[in-house]
Amino acid sequence: HQIDRGELPATTHSARFWDLAATEPSAASPDPDYTVGVRLDLDERTGSFYLTDLVRVRIPPGAVEQLVAATAKRDGKGVRIIIEQEPGAAGSTVIGRYKRHVLRGYNVRGVRATGAKAVRASSAAAAAENGLITIVRGRNTNDFLDEICAFPHAAHDDCVDALAGAHQSLTHTPRPASFHVPRGNIYDIAEQAQRRTGSARSRLETTRRHRHHEQAADLAAAIGTSLYDPTARQL
């Protein structure tokens, strides 16, 4: 399903997921991977996702950093940024550079890809099949659809990885914790809490004593004797 940008409803959460590459086409590598950045917006009221922007390029490493920084500036700081992190120390170094230098001041984190691509993409695929992902017409839309429709047999799967990552990020959006703060003087509140705790402990202790007494009475009856009660008055 596709819509024009003017039809886009108000959304509550936004994320852009980057699947980075750093190779231009050459004689040695005529068809390298793409650097892809998918922006996905969530309308939390309806549970619908909107693919509002797609970057898909083949450029060298320095140009990739400039592109990511410029895209973040255009998106604004309200859009979280997730970058797929390559394995090993090199991947940690790249993510660290983006956090400290390229995207300093933005909400950015790296995530390691785990599991098969088809499994990682299954959640986004299910959402699309249920009509929950809408594409806002724009640049690279046709290339995106060609790759998605040909997956997993397409020559490239960078768009699939980026869509799956953005979707997972938004479906795991943490909710702010809520706390009930009672009204009144803090010392009075503390004293009331202590009284409630003391009353609860007293009731629990009474219940335990009754239970032990009943168990002892059952045992005495079973062996044919009377239960000794130390609190009873002697005649």
Q: Do residues 160 and 190 both lie within one domain?
A: no
The pLDDT of residue 117: 86
- Whether pLDDT at 181 is above 60: no
Residue 116: band (very low, low, confident or very high) from pLDDT cuts 50, 70, 90:
confident
% of residues, the chain, pLDDT over 70: 73
Residue 132 has pLDDT above 90, yes or no: yes
Average pLDDT value for the chain? 84
Average confidence (pLDDT) over 228-235: 52
pTM over 0.75, yes/no: no
Does 131 share its domain with 218?
no
63 and 155: one domain?
Answer: yes
Please state the domain count of the chain: 2
- Say if residue 167 is in the same domain as residue 216: no
Q: What pLDDT is recorded for position 200?
A: 57
Band of residue 178 on the pLDDT scale cut at 50, 70, 90 = very low
* b/e map 18-41, b = 16+ CB within 10 Å: bbbbbbeeeeeeeeebbbbbbbbb
Evaluate whether 174 touches 42 at the Cβ level (below 8 Å).
no
On whether both 146 and 185 belong to a single domain, the answer is no
Q: With 60 as the cut, is the pLDDT of residue 156 above it?
A: yes
Residue 155 and residue 188 share a domain: no
Q: What pLDDT, on a 0 to 100 scale, did the predictor assign at position 228?
A: 56
- Tell me, yes or no, whether 193 and 151 share the same domain: no
Among the three residues 171, 188, 219, which one is the final residue of a domain in this structure? 171
Q: Are residues 84 and 153 in the same domain?
A: yes
Maximum average pLDDT range among 23-32, 97-106, 191-200:
97-106
pLDDT higher at 220 or 13: 13
Q: Which range of residues forms the domain containing residue 228?
A: 179-235
Same domain, 130 and 195: no
Same domain, 22 and 96: yes
Query: What pLDDT, in 10s, does the model give residues 49-83?
Result: 999 999 999 999 889 999 999 999 999 999 999 99
| Judgement on whether residues 105 and 194 belong to the same structural domain of the protein | no
